[in-house]
Amino acid sequence: MQGRTALVIGGAGLLGGQISHAFAELGATVLVASRDRQKCDAFLPGLTARGGENHRAFAVDITRPESIRDLFTVVAECSPTLDVLVNSGWSGRKNTFESISDEDWDHDIEVCLNGVFRTIKSAVPLLAPKAGNILNIASMYGHVAPDYRMYDGEKYANPPSYGAAKAGVLQLTRYLASFLSPQGIRVNALSPGPFPFESTQQENPDFIARLNSKNPLDRIGKPPDLKGPAVLLCTDAGAYMTGQNLCVDGGWAVW
């Protein structure tokens, strides 16, 4: 990825951070953006230590169209073209089907689906000159249902809005792979399996044990597990792949 520029939305987060690391290790310039500009700024020194150069941090709220427009205005000033766009932004509210409100539902759809659509819409003019790549981070719950027996209480529940939004991301990925192909833009999705936060692992070991036992590989995902698949989909190694959903779930959905 020497000489290439990648914009990673949510690029300092649990999963997006690993994708940013992978790109930097291969020599890319990585533009990291999220709602928390300070978190992105603090992330940059470690990114620079891994490789690449001229990494930058930006603030963006993907629930606000004007914030997305502002982001791409400043991105275009420092990089008039992009080679890669990764949509890994997320901000959810824990709830169940019984407790979820209209506001909760709308929030998740806005972040997980509408924000992805708007970001891609703004990014295409920068991606087209390079015949760039788009990678959307979806979820195993975009194509399989959560097992209700896994979850104990609202704090660890999987909201119904999350899977619905991620299913939308998968279909948007396929649609755009078709309709952006005349510009040479490839569009793929990556669906992580169980990648719980460290805090969840410490607070609820019984829940983690249930996740392990439901998975053919008998373990939860480790964030670095995403690095190789992301590199495949965003480099010439995957030059003949578009419209695909690569599952990184330890085999979760095979049984």
Q: Give a three-class secondary structure readout of the chain.
A: CCCCEEEEECCCCCCHHHHHHHHHHCCCEEEEEECCHHHHHHHHHHHHHHCCCCCEEEECCCCCHHHHHHHHHHHHHHCCCCCEEEECCCCCCCCCCCCCCHHHHHHHHHHHHHHHHHHHHHHHHHHHHHCCEEEEECCHHHCCCCCHHHCCCHHHCCCHHHHHHHHHHHHHHHHHHHHCHHHCCEEEEEEECCCCCHHHHHHCHHHHHHHHHHCCCCCCCCHHHHHHHHHHHHCHHHCCCCCCEEEECCCHHHC
Choose the weakest-confidence range: 129-143, 153-167, 237-251: 153-167
What mean pLDDT comes out for the span 80-102? 90
Could you tell me which residues come within 8 angstroms of residue 153 by beta carbon, excluding any fewer than 6 positions away? none
Task: Determine the length of the chain.
Answer: 255
User: In the β-sheet with 133-137, what is the strand arrangement from edge to edge?
Assistant: 56-59, 29-34, 5-9, 84-87, 133-137, 186-192, 245-248
What pLDDT shows up at residue 38?
Answer: 95
Task: Name the pLDDT band for 94 (thresholds 50, 70, 90).
Answer: confident
Q: Is the pLDDT of residue 206 over 90?
A: yes
For position 26, what pLDDT does the model report?
A: 98
**Residue 29 — pLDDT band, cuts 50, 70, 90?**
very high
Looking at per-residue confidence, does 85 or 199 come out higher?
Answer: 85
Confidence of residue 176 (pLDDT cuts 50, 70, 90): very high
Looking at residue 157, what is its pLDDT?
83
CA dist 221 and 192 (Å) reads: 8
* pLDDT at residue 252 greater than cutoff 90: yes
Which two tokens mark 224? 């670095």
For residue 104, what pLDDT is reported?
93
Structural domains in the chain, sorted by start: 5-9+79-254 (3.40.50.720)
Give the pLDDT band of residue 181 (cuts 50, 70, 90). Answer: very high
pLDDT of residue 45: 96
- Cα-based distances in Å from 179 to 3, 44, 119, 172: 27, 35, 16, 10
Pairing state between β 56-59 and 29-34: parallel
- At 95 the pLDDT is 87
Which band of pLDDT confidence, cut at 50, 70 and 90, is reported for residue 120?
A: very high
For residue 91, what pLDDT is reported? Answer: 75
pLDDT of the residue at 218: 97
Chain mean position to CA 187? 13
Q: What is the mean pLDDT of residues 150-158?
A: 82
Over range 20-31, report the average pLDDT. 98
Please report, rounded to a whole number, the percentage of residues in the chain having pLDDT higher than 90. 91
Judged by phi (left if over 0) then psi (alpha if -120 to 50, else beta), residue 55 lies in beta
What are the structure tokens assigned to 111, written together? Answer: 């972040």
The reported pTM is 0.96
Give pLDDT tens digits for 213-231: 999 999 999 999 999 999 9
**Mean pLDDT value across the chain:** 95
